[in-house]
Chains A and B, each alone.
Chain A
Amino acid sequence: MNAMPMLLMPWRTTVPGMRRIMLGILAALLAGAVYIAVHWHTPNASLGAAVTIGYGEFFVGMLLLSPFLLMAIDARQMRVPRMQRSIMAGLVFYGAVLVAAPSTVLGVVGVNVATVVAVATLGLMLGLSLGLLPRYFAVVMGLSPLLISLLRQYVALPDLSVPGLEIIWAIVAFLIVICRVCWWHHVRAADPYRGSFAKPMVLYTRGTTQVGWSGWSNWGRSYDVARQIRSQPQWMQPVAELRKSGPTYPRHSLRIALGGWLLPKTWGSICRQWFVVLVPLAAVIMLLKIAYGYRVLRVFIALEHSLTLGAWVWLGGFGGAGLSLVVVLLLHQRWSKTNAELPLLALLPGLGRGSVLIRHLLGASLGRVLGIQFVLTVVLVLTAFAKHVDSASLCILLLGQVAGSGFVAAFALAYVGGRSLPIGSVAAVAAACFTLIGFDNVCMPFFSAAPVVGMLPRIMLMAAWVVLIGALAWIGQRGWRGLQRRPHPFLPN
C-alpha cells in the first residue's frame, strides 16, 4: 500500500480552518494538562491531566477523524480502488499518533502514561462515536449521568469515580466495535445522506460544503429548502393549514407562501412536533422523580423561586433574540432566490397592491414573532415587579427586549425594501445581542437578589443597548425608504 494517500487523508477530508481550530484546541488542552501535572500537588493530578487531554482527544475524534467516513462513502460510490484501505489505515494511524504524542509529553512531565493513554483513547473514541453514530447517541451521551445514577439504584454498577483501566479499555473496545459496524453500514448504504434519526452527525455537516464540520461558516446563506425538508422524517414534516387561505385571507396566505417558521400548521402537525419536545421532557422529569424522589410540582416551584431576574432575562432574551434570528434568516433566504417564492407571489392575484400589500406582508412576516416578543416582555416586566428589582435592571431588561424585537423588524424592512445588508451584518447584530444579553446577567441580580456591580458598568451597558437599537433603527428606516420606492416588494435582492 502506498503510504502517501494515507498520510494525506486529513488534508483531503477537512478544511484548513477546521484543522487549525482542532490543533489549537488540542495544544491549549495539552498545555493545561501539563500545567495540572506540574503544579497540582494532589493525588488526582495525573487523573486531572489525563481527563484534560482526553477532552482534547474528544475533539480530535469528532472533528478530525469522523469526516474520514465522508471520503469512504465517496470512494465507495465512485468505485475508487484501494481507497478504503488507505482511509482505514489513515484513521488508525492518525488516531494512534494523536494519542501517543500528547501522552508522551505528559509522560515526560511525570504523569502515569498508562492512565493517560487509556483516558485519551476513551476521549478519542467518544468523539469519533459522536460523529459516526446515529444522532440519538448524542442524547444518550448527554443523559448518561442521569441514567447511570438511576440504574445504580437497581444494578450494581462498577464505581467509576476510581476508574480501573480495564473498565476504560472495555468501553473503548465496545465503542470500536459499534463504530466499525456503523461505518460498514453507512459506507454500503444506497443513499447514506437520506434524512433519518439514524443518520450520523458527520453526514449532516456536509449540507452546504463538501467536507465535514465546516457547515457553520455557511450559515444564513441560501440553502436548499427541499433538501432540508427531505432530511426530516415524514412524521415530523409540517402540514400547512390551508383552510383560511386565498384572497380573503392575504396574511395567512402569505405565511403559507413564506413557509418555514412562519408556516401556519394544522393542529395535528403542531401536536406531532411538540411531541418531540414534551415526551423527552416528561421522561427526564420522571427520571428525576424516580432518582431523587422529588415531587414534580415541587421541582417547578423551587425552580420559579430560585430563578433570579437575571436568569429570567437570560431565558427571555436568548429565546426572543434567537426567534428573531430564525425569522431574519428565513426572510434573507426567501428574498435572495429568484426562482422560488418571489415570482409566484409577484404574479399571484388577490394579494393587493401598494400600502395594503406592504401591511399584509409585514404582518405575515413580523406579526407572530413580535407577538411572542411582546408576551415575553410582559412576563419579564411582571417578574421584575414581583421580585422588586431596581429601576436600572428593569431598564436594561426593557432595552434588551426592544433590541430583540427591533432586530427582526429592521432586517425584515431591509430585505423587503431591497436594502439588504451582507449576511455578516446579521451575524454581527445577533452576536451583539447575545453578548449584551450575557452582560445583562453580569449587571443584574443573577445569582443573588441584589446587583453585584456598580452603577457605571450598568450605565455603559444601557448605552451599548441604545447604540445597538440606534443602529437597528437606521437599518429599518433605510429599508422602509426602499420599500416606499420599490414598485412591489417581491423583487429579489
Chain B
Amino acid sequence: MNAVLQEVTNTLDAPLVARQLVHGYEGQNVLDGVDLGLTPGSVLGLIGRNGAGKSTLIRAMLGLLEPLSGSAFVFGEPALKLSDSAKSRIAYVPQQPEALAWLTAAQMLDFVGRFYPRWDAPFAKTMLERWKIQPNKLLAKLSPGERQRVDLIRALASQPQLLVLVLDEPAAALDPVARRELLRELALRAGESGTTVLFSTHIVSDLERVASEVAFLHNGKLLLRCGVDDTKERYGRLWIPAKMTAAAPAQSLSKRRNEDGSLSLIVERDAQGHWPEAATLPGARIDALGLEDLFVEIAE
C-alpha cells in the first residue's frame, strides 16, 4: 500500500492525495494520521462504520475543513487553496444535500451549470425526466431521495470525466432502482471516461458492484486497502482453540478472545497464497471471508 501511495503522491496530477491527516472534534480524534491516494481512473470505495471518520476524511481531502495537521492535494494543488481549474474538475455530493433549497431543481441546475465550462445541460434535463423529478418544484419540497438525485445530476452534469468524482454516501437516500441506475452510471463513467471515483458507503453490495479498490476506515485509521477482487478468498477468519492460543500468529488484521478462551483472528494469505501456519494447528479452523464478512469482522 505504501508503494502505491508513494507512487501517487509523487504524481503531480494525482486526483486526490491525503498525507498524515489528523482531525478531531471536542478533543476526540476522528482521523488519526490517514494516508490515502487515488490513481487516475480508479474507483475507490471507502468503507467503515458510522462515525468511523469517512465523511471527515472526504471533507478534509477536498478542503472543506481545515485538518488539525497533515495535508491533502487535489490534482497536485493544496486542497484548501484550489484553483478554478481544479474546482471545475471536481464534483462532490454530500450525504444529505441541503444547499439552495429556495431554488427549483431546474433553477439550481441552471445556476450551477453557468460555472462549469463543460456543463452538459441536455444530460441534466434527460436525467431529471428519467428520475421523474419535477423541474419546477422547489428543492425544499422534494423528498430526501429526490433531492439527492438532483444533486447527483448536478455532480454528473459538470462532466468530471478523466477527473475525480467524489461522492459521500451516494446511495443513502435512494430507492433500490435509483441506486442501481446510479451505480451503473458510475461504472460506465469510470470505465469509458476514466473518471476517478471515491465514494463512501456501508452498503457492501454497492461497493462490490462498482469499486475497483476498497479502503477500510476504522476509528480514524485506514486499516486495509486492497483491490475488491483481491479480497475474495484472500482473507479468512482463523479460530484457534484455547489450549493452542500461544501459537497464534503475531500478524493479524484483528484479534478477538472468545468467552471460552479461544481466539478469533482475521488473517491473510501470503504471497504464495498460503494461510499462516497456525491454520494447521490441531483443532484450528479457517473460513475464507467475503467482503461483507471481512467488513463486519474488522469493524466489530
Contact = CB atoms under 8 A, between A and B. Distances in A.
B59 interface: yes
Interface in B96-139: 96-103, 107, 110-112, 114-116, 138-139
Contacts of B85: 349
For B65, B78, B102, B114, which residue has the most chain A Cβ atoms within 10 angstroms?
A: B102
B94 A343 contact: yes
A353 B83 contact: yes
A259 B100 contact: yes
Contact of B98 (A237, A339, A352): A339
Given A349-B84, A488-B81, A226 B139 contact: yes
B86 to A, nearest CB: 8
Nearest to A354: B81
Contact of A346 (B63, B88, B112): B63
B87 A349 contact: yes
Given A225-B98, A348-B115, A488 B103 contact: no
Contacts of A257: 99-100
B174 interface: no
A34 interface: no
Contacts of A355: none
Interface string A238-275: 10101001110000010011011001000000000000
A207 to B, nearest CB: 14
A342 interface: yes
Given A230-B141, A487-B63, A341 B99 contact: yes
A260 B59 CA distance: 26
Contact of A229 (B87, B101, B112, B116): B101
Nearest to B115: A350
Contact of B64 (A349, A353, A491): A491
A281 B289 CA distance: 74
A340 interface: yes
B92 A347 contact: yes
Given A247-B114, A349-B115, A237 B138 contact: yes
A351 B132 CA distance: 32
Contact of A491 (B66, B95, B140): B66
Contacts of A353: 81, 83-84
Interface string A171-184: 00000000000000
Contact of B84 (A246, A253, A350): A350
A113 B88 CA distance: 77
Given A230-B141, A347-B90, A242 B102 contact: no
A350 B102 CA distance: 22
B102 A348 contact: no
Interface in A201-252: 225-227, 229-230, 237-238, 240, 242, 245-247
A348 B87 contact: yes
Contact of A259 (B64, B95, B102, B114): B102
A343 B240 CA distance: 49
A226 B101 contact: yes
Contact of A256 (B66, B94, B97, B111): B111
Interface string A462-493: 00000000000000000000000011101110
A344 interface: yes
B120 to A, nearest CB: 16
Interface in B142-171: none
Contact of A242 (B110, B140, B141): B110
Contacts of A338: 59, 64-65, 94
A105 to B, nearest CB: 51
Contacts of A259: 100-102
A19 interface: no
A135 interface: no
A76 interface: no
Nearest to A337: B98
Nearest to A490: B64
A486 B83 CA distance: 16
A350 B63 CA distance: 17
Interface residues of B, number: 39
Interface residue tally of chain A, by bracket? 35 or more
Contacts of B91: 347
Given A257-B100, A337-B98, A246 B115 contact: yes
A487 B102 contact: no
Interface string B33-60: 0000000000000000000000000010
A339 B65 contact: no
Given A348-B115, A349-B115, A343 B107 contact: no
Contacts of B90: 347
A256 B104 CA distance: 12
A474 to B, nearest CB: 24
A65 to B, nearest CB: 33
Most buried by B among A226, A247, A256, A352: A226
A339 B95 contact: yes
B81 A342 contact: no
Interface string B167-209: 0000000000000000000000000000000000000000000
B223 to A, nearest CB: 25
Given A229-B140, A347-B62, A340 B98 contact: yes
A487 B66 contact: yes
B101 A488 contact: no
A371 to B, nearest CB: 22
Interface in A78-128: none
A213 to B, nearest CB: 25
Contacts of A225: 98, 101-102, 140
A247 B98 contact: no
Contact of A488 (B80, B111, B141): B80
A353 B84 CA distance: 8
Nearest to B98: A340
B63 A488 contact: yes
B88 A343 contact: no
A143 B101 CA distance: 35
A340 B80 contact: no
Contacts of A341: 99-100
A374 B186 CA distance: 52
A225 B92 CA distance: 21
Contact of A348 (B81, B83, B112): B112
B165 to A, nearest CB: 12
A339 B88 CA distance: 19
B98 to A, nearest CB: 4
Given A225-B98, A490-B64, 8 more contacts: A229-B101, A229-B140, A240-B107, A242-B107, A242-B111, A341-B99, A487-B78, A488-B81
29 contacts: A225-B98, A225-B102, A229-B101, A229-B102, A229-B140, A230-B140, A253-B114, A259-B101, A260-B102, A263-B102, A338-B64, A338-B94, A339-B99, A343-B62, A346-B64, A347-B62, A347-B64, A347-B90, A347-B91, A348-B115, A349-B87, A349-B115, A350-B88, A353-B81, A487-B63, A487-B80, A488-B63, A490-B64, A491-B65
Interface of B: 59, 62-66, 78, 80-85, 87-88, 90-92, 94-103, 107, 110-112, 114-116, 138-141
Task: List the 5 closest pairs (A to B, CB-CB), nearest first.
Answer: A246-B114, A487-B80, A226-B140, A229-B140, A349-B87
